[in-house]
Structure formats: C-alpha cells, structure tokens
Amino acid sequence: MADGARTTVAGTRRPGPATASGPSRPAPGTGLLAVVAAAFTALQLLLVRPGLGLGWDEIVYVSQVTGHTPAAFFSAPRSRGPSLLVAPVASWSDSTELLRVHLAVLSGLGLHLALRAWRGLFPVPVLATGGALFATLWLTLFYGPQAMPNYWVAVGALLTAGCFLRVGAEPSVRAPLWGVAGGVALMAWMRPADAVWIALPLLALALWRRRGRLLLAAACGLVAGGAQWVAEAYVRYGGLGQRLHDASGIQGGLGRQFAADDQLRSLGGRALCRPCTGPFPHPAVTLWWFVLPVLAVLGLVVAVRAGRAARTLVPLACAATAALPYLFLIGYAAPRFLQPAYALLAIPVADALWYLVRDTAGRWRPAVATAVAGALAGHLAVQGAVLVRTVERTAEDRRDWARTARELHRLGVRPPCLLTGFEAIPLGYYAGCASGNTAGHNENTTVAEIEDTARRVPVAAVTAPGAAPPSYARTWTPHRIGGLRVRVAPAPGGDGAG
C-alpha cells in the first residue's frame, strides 16, 4: 500500500510503522500512563488504609500460603491465583500493612502495563482518561490492595484485548502475541470461568479471520492459566465435572436468572449482596451505571465514523461477555464481579468523552467541556464518598473479628485450636485457630472429627444471635461474646491442653 497502512485482525486500517503514532515506536506522552498508575497506587494507600484487616475471602486465599495460621477450607469455585499473588509477602510475614502495600504497588504496575498495551490504538490522553475512569471507581480503589481475583481479571482482560488488536498491525513483532497468551493466562489463573467468557469473542474473531497464531496464543493462555485448576479438580474434588457441579451449587445454581437489579443495589458499597434485599442506593450513586452504556455506544459510533471500528468493538464485545454471567446467570451480586467489564468499557467511554469536548478540528468546545468536567467532578465526589463509607464499615467489621478472637483467647481457646460454626473461617484466622464446618458451602469436617480434636486441643463452637448450638456442643460451657454465643469444649487433658 502506498500510504504504508496495514490491515488489522478485524479488517480496519491503521497507520503503519512509518508514522509517528505507530505502535512499534514509543508513543509520545506515555509517561502520562505511568502518572495515572502511580496516582492509583497512592490513592489506595491513602484511602483504603494499609492496616485494614483481611476479609473472609482474603483469609481463604492468604491462609493457603502463610505459616502463622492453618489453611482455611478452599471451596470448589476458588482458584489459586490470589494465593500465589500474595505469597511473596504472606509466606514469611503476617503484616497486613506490608501485604496491602505489596498489592497496591502490584495493582498500579498491572494497570500501567495493561494501558501500555493500547498504545497506538488510541491517543495517549484517551488511554490515560480511560485508566483514570476505571481507577477512580470506588470498587477499583477498594479491591486494588486486597487479595481478591477480580481486579486482576480486569487487568488481564484489558491487556489481552489491547495486545489482540495489535497483533494484526505488527505481524513481525511477537510481543503482542505473548501479551495475548499472558493476559488470558492471568485471567484463567485468577478465575478460569471468567477467562473463558472474556476470551470467547477473541477466539471467535480469530477463528473467523483464520488467524491461527492468535487462536493458538489465546488457547495456550487458557490452558496455561487453567491447568492447575483442572488438575486440582481431579486431585481434590472428584473430577472436573464434579468440581464444576459443586462450584455451581455454591454460587446458587447457574442458570437463567436476573441479577442486574442486585448489581445496582450493591453499588452503594455492599461487598456481597446475597440475599440482595433492601432499597436501591441514592440515584446520585447509581447514575454513572446508566450513563456508562450510553457513552460506550457513543464511543462505538465515533469509532465507526472514524473507520476504526475494531478497536472499539473488541473491548465492547469482551465487556459484554464478561458481564453476561453476572447479570443473567447467577442470583446474587457483588460489585467486584463486574470489574473486568468496567475496565474494558473505560477506553471506549474515554474516547466518547474526548469526542464530546473537542470538535473535528481538535478545538475545545468550552460549554461542553465545562459540563463534562463538572459531571466528572461530581462522579468522583460520589465515588469517594462511597469508598470512605465502605472502608469505615469494613474496618469496623474486621475489628469485631479481632475483638472476638481476643475474647476467645481469654477463654482459653488459643493456638493450636479449632473453631466451628458461625463465621468460623474469619474468626479462626484472627484467633490463629483451624476452622471447621459440618454443613454448608464450607463443609470440611465431621462431628466425630470435631469431638476427637476436642480431646487434644481447645475447641469452641460459635453460633449467631438467636441460633441454637450444634448438637455436639450442647453440653459445652456457654459464653457470650458481644452478640455471639460461644460454647467451649471441656479443656483437653494431658499434653493437649496447650
């Protein structure tokens, strides 16, 4: 071609390497992406408190690799990615502050690398704006420094989609191809099912366009990231089919359901909306959720008119498949479930915003720019307010666990020990005890095993307010800790009294 243009995987044309903005050369202003990532890390450390105690899910992941407390039960839906992510710190230190700093820095680096994958596909200001939009959502800031998988699925999705689009434009460069494989592997490492859903449009497009290298890279990423989960299914869960069945049961049974309203309720700062009842948050809190798809569609219109539809269609398609199971296949909600969709939508939305504030000649539209800036300022204020409330409420809940653990120690329930019953997993972690349940999603022991353990080490059964104690603990000594009822087994004799 005389103008040096090339055809991408989806058939669109973009500048070749001879142009200043080609992805084979560092794009001017990419330092702006580093500034966004660094600010994201700083805001996490400033607003989310490095001393914030570990939550229930975090405890499960962290306890698998730490040496100072027994490993909590690892249920069928979970994957080992978050545990490996925290292992460099948790394997030798029990400092929550150090772990939070470690994760905040890693999350900033992850965002930076994911945004860099889009260089040359969109102008750097658009990428920086998209990164900032995603990074300033309360749920992104809240979960960035936590040992949870969803943020990392989002980073992997953004990296994968960007590298996927660059492969067709740089057929002689292998880095984007490795980026596709690495991004898919990261997603599968964290949440295998999410990786499959997000990769579906990419696999379909690569197959349709007969791009064997892309198809192989994505498939290899799924295998590399999901192999451990599949292998563990046969070692611990009775096979892949049984693990999938168990995972579906724990998630309430996957099928045709409607959870969009549950997701809307969770936007007010509810970490888990199950069951999801109560009023919807104030409209100011949920307004952005309704504006988001409108701006995404506008971004697509802008891209089609500019002759670069693929760069917007690919992330929009992946965002749709990422959100689909959490909106229409499960009966509950958590705001973090949609993080991958928000990350993928961020760049098309940023593109739409830049289109609104500048005319075709690149001149500012003062009135529109002022309105957009005001709307974004209001949005940031609302996100900040939700974040502050969520952090305060979460911190108090985790302080309650720590207080309960101290009272258990006062009652003689000290490591090595076992807790059963209500919130046994988090309370066990804070008390330094193993945790066990004879029923429910976290069933991992039997009554006979609990009674045998009580002959050797301290054992306590915790029940929620108003609940009856388990049959095996009815003769144990009753105590009250706050609103909880605790029954402590008779002190073991001999050397087991420790």
Stretch 413-427: mean pLDDT: 97
- What is the model's pLDDT at position 78? 96
Instruction: Assess whether 385 and 436 both reside in one domain.
Output: no
As given in the structure block, the two tokens for residue 75 are 């249920």
**pLDDT band, very low/low/confident/very high, at 360 (cuts 50, 70, 90):** confident
State the helix-helix crossing angle for 124-135 and 31-47, rounded to 10 degrees: 10
In a domain, 406, yes or no: no
- What is the model's pLDDT at position 171? 65
Helix (H, G, I), strand (E, B) or coil at 251: coil
Residue 139: count of CB within 10 angstroms of its CB: 24
Pick the last residue of a domain from 358, 391, 424: 391
Please tell me the pTM assigned to this model.
0.92
Instruction: Assess whether 415 and 386 both reside in one domain.
Output: no
Stretch 256-266: mean pLDDT: 92
Residue 4 exposed, middle or buried by CB count within 10 Å (0-12, 13-18, 19+): exposed
In a domain, 50, yes or no: yes
Sign of the CA dihedral running 323, 325, 330, 331? positive
Instruction: Assess whether 161 and 29 both reside in one domain.
Output: yes
Instruction: Assess whether 205 and 127 both reside in one domain.
Output: yes
Stretch 24-50: mean pLDDT: 85
- Confirm if 488 and 413 have CB atoms less than 8 A apart: yes
- What is the model's pLDDT at position 49? 86
Q: Mean pLDDT over all residues of the chain?
A: 91
Stretch 172-201: mean pLDDT: 94
Amino acid at 30: T
In a domain, 324, yes or no: yes
User: How many separate domains does the chain show?
Assistant: 2
Instruction: Assess whether 380 and 416 both reside in one domain.
Output: no
**pLDDT band, very low/low/confident/very high, at 12 (cuts 50, 70, 90):** very low
Assess whether pLDDT exceeds 70 at residue 157: yes
As given in the structure block, the two tokens for residue 165 are 């689009």
Assess whether pLDDT exceeds 60 at residue 37: yes
- What is the model's pLDDT at position 147? 98
| pLDDT tens figures, 57-83 | 999 999 999 988 999 999 999 999 999
| pLDDT tens figures, 161-185 | 999 999 966 666 788 999 999 999 9
> End-to-end CA distance of the chain, in Å?
80
Write out the H or E segment, with its range, that includes residue 2: none
In a domain, 398, yes or no: no
Q: What is the phi/psi pair of residue 484, to 5°? A: -95, 150
Work out the percent of the chain whose per-residue pLDDT is above 70. Answer: 92
Assess whether pLDDT exceeds 90 at residue 450: yes
Instruction: Assess whether 387 and 415 both reside in one domain.
Output: no
Instruction: Assess whether 381 and 429 both reside in one domain.
Output: no
- What is the model's pLDDT at position 17? 35
Instruction: Assess whether 56 and 188 both reside in one domain.
Output: yes
Stretch 375-390: mean pLDDT: 97
Q: In whole angstroms, how far apart are CA 163 and each of 55, 57, 204, 263, 389?
A: 34, 31, 16, 30, 37
In a domain, 417, yes or no: yes
Amino acid at 62: V
Rounded to 5°, the CA angle 337-166-139 comes to 20
- CA-to-CA distance for 259 and 327, rounded, in angstroms? 5
Instruction: Assess whether 425 and 310 both reside in one domain.
Output: no
- What is the model's pLDDT at position 18? 35
Pick the last residue of a domain from 391, 423, 456: 391
Look at 84-98, 161-175, 271-285, 453-467 and tell me which has the smallest mean pLDDT. 161-175
Work out the percent of the chain whose per-residue pLDDT is above 90. Answer: 84
- What is the model's pLDDT at position 174? 82
- What is the model's pLDDT at position 172? 64
Instruction: Assess whether 170 and 81 both reside in one domain.
Output: yes
Assess whether pLDDT exceeds 90 at residue 378: yes
Assess whether pLDDT exceeds 60 at residue 28: no
The residue among 493 and 186 whose pLDDT is bigger is 186
In a domain, 458, yes or no: yes
- CA-to-CA distance for 137 and 379, rounded, in angstroms? 9
Assess whether pLDDT exceeds 60 at residue 239: yes
Give the residue carrying structure tokens 């980026």. Answer: 179
In a domain, 481, yes or no: yes
Instruction: Assess whether 125 and 41 both reside in one domain.
Output: yes
- Domain interval for residue 338: 6-391
Instruction: Assess whether 381 and 418 both reside in one domain.
Output: no
